[in-house]
Amino acid sequence: DAKTTQPTSMDCAEGRAANLPCNHSTISGNEYVYWYRQIHSQGPQYIIHGLKNNETNEMASLIITEDRKSSTLILPHATLRDTAVYYCIVRVAWSNYQLIWGAGTKLIIKP
């Protein structure tokens, strides 16, 4: 799996959009970008994933650059409950290949 790099930490004001960047410059053509988050002391939670098109669901939006070397996770209206560590992972979907986790970005939402 390709490696990803993310900022160690970020702050965002409550109610504003939180934009979390991720670099994956060595991503392969069949690798998807996945985002998970882990709220303190809980199990990781799936957020969204995509291949090359932008994706949106009830939790977030995922913007993938045209060259697929980077992506941004957008939480449109961050709340205090969005404070968590956010992990960007790339992997081949529908494979038995395990997720390989980096250090993630610690996102702190401030009132």
If the CB atoms of residues 53 and 98 are measured against another protein, the closer one turns out to be 98
DSSP symbols for 42-55: S--EEEEEESSS-E
For another protein, the closer CB: 42 or 67: 42
Q: Which residues bind another protein (CB under 8 A)?
A: 32, 34, 36, 41-46, 49, 85, 87, 93-96, 98-104
Write down the least CB distance from residue 83 to another protein, Å: 15
CA distances from 105 to 4, 30, 42, 84, 92 (A): 11, 25, 16, 8, 22
Report, in Å, the least distance between residue 18 CB and another protein: 20
Distance, CA of 59 to CA of 37 (rounded, Å):
11
